[in-house]
Structure 1
Amino acid sequence: MRDKAKGDGTVKPKVYIAEPVPTFVENYLSEHCDYEKWEQNEKVPRDVLLEKIQDKDGLLNFGSAINEELLEAAPNLKVVSNISVGYDNFDLQAMAKHNVIGTNTPYVLDDTVADLVFALMLSAGRRVCELDSYVKNGEWNAEIGKEHFGLDVHHSTIGIIGMGRIGEAVAKRAKFGFDMDVLYYNRRRKEEAEQKFDATYCDLQTLLKQSDFIVLLTPLTDETYHLIGEKEFSFMKETAIFINASRGKTVDEEALIDALTEKKIFAAGIDTFTQEPIQKDNPLLSLQNVVTLPHIGSATLKTRQQMAMTAAENLVAALQGKTPPNIVRG
């Protein structure tokens, strides 16, 4: 590909778009960059990415691993812009070594993910998916009995693990939409959130013991890996509903399967898994008391468009030598 010059005679930086993005995002990028793109819906194969990135200055990325292998293959790379709030795909130490900036897209998806959390809470609590199948399979022959009854969301207690922006959006819906009591556990107290949502700060064990709905919203770090495991599930009520809208590896999946199978908790709603896509023989897929989704926390048309545009703006800012508004700090 021949380098194209901008109006001032300088050569545009080269970018690879590793995820399909809206046309208006491509149009914006074309004003500032020369780009190649991956046009398939499935994830770009690793070998293709490693080939395409060799002469690129920037990468617009969704979830591909940014590690030593990729950085060694891309000597010109200056910035990787994630179309996501999470950045556990970044090897920040390796990126710092190669002087590569990483960015993400916070703020854009807070309300959308909070909506999905409540979709999971309602679906798991009221057994929506299970009873949908019950009707469609022709099993509804008489008035349902208590074996099909669910649990109320309103006037119950929610425990939020991770009171960041998304956690606050969940707390807002819980308090003012469903009149729930709000408990939270966080690295540090957030007195403003306590005042706004009448939320109570407590230690993790207390939260697990007292909550009817337990919502996990932490990022994946060394400290949060398997934050919820066998011991944590043992503290939960038998009527508790566990929701994971963070990252799959924040939960010990074997312990979750055991808790659901042995009815140690009532149900779960899971949007993220240890391995994605989930394996077809994963025991979670055979359990009726779990609602499973394919990691769609931000997957609405409007939000994904906003995320793609924010990521593009981060990318261009970095390539212009500016500090991007959403830079990831190591």
Structure 2
Amino acid sequence: MTAAANSANPVDPFVHPALFYADAHEYLAGTVPFVRAGLAAGEPVAVAVPGENLRLIQDELGADAESVRFLDMREAGRNPGRIIPGVLRAFADTQPPGRRVRIIGEPIWAGRSTAEYPACVQHEALINAAFQGREATILCPYDTVRLDPRVLADAHATHPTVIPAGAVAEHVSDAYAPEHVVARYNEPLPPPVPDVLSFSFDADSLSTARHLATDEGARLGLSGIRLEDLALITAELTTNSVVHGGGSGSLRVWAEDGHVLCEVRDKGRLTDPLAGRRPAERDQRGGRGLLLVNLLADLVRVHTGQDGTTIRAYLGR
């Protein structure tokens, strides 16, 4: 049994270690005992990791796998902004209050794009705020061979405790600073390709903005449900700009690296880093726009500063 399976913070019941591994043997040595310890304690257990690692854990667990909720993170967590509301909280919130849950979540793997990584590391940092005070243990594996050293360094900053590759005992991370990570990756977004559709909108032209976006999306290769998703994303982002971002904004739509991108800028400032990452309460009125965008898009990038906020949603063609 790993130390991560038993560790508990005397102040905060939430436990969030990073597990470093160099090969399949170390991966299974760190994850399978974690799962079995949870099952033995009567804790609900979920495993959300990339498909190839999912199969490793399932095979090693044997019959115990039947008691575990499995999710392929390449699908469920394709957009890192979707993981807290759509994977982690979606599982934890179905359990009775006060019952500890145990989750393995691996949102960063070799092959994540340069555009995806800032959203990934911000997600890892924000888990700590999203689960503060919750009876939950979330173990996050990191591949020390295939991931960039910068990624491994960031893992020390986003996790209060770490388990070195080949070790069983966890220790406190001296580099832990999740708020600094969120701020550091709140970086200006790369400029779009030349000659993009651009439109300035206000309260009287929201419908026009939506139609322009979907027409351009169709021209760029979206169809069916993906085109409907673009219409909803455009409507939510532009409406948010009118209501919360100073009454107006600018819309841009273009194609890049196999995706159609929809970007909305306004003069508002997003002060809550968990905006769009919390599940909606059953009786909640409003406040679901950015959450819906995260649930629909393949990636969402956000930059907010003194001059305003830019939100960029990616939809695969």
The structure having more radius of gyration, on CA atoms, is 1
More strand by proportion, 1 or 2?
2
| TM-score normalised to structure 1 length | 0.24
| TM-score normalised to structure 2 length | 0.25
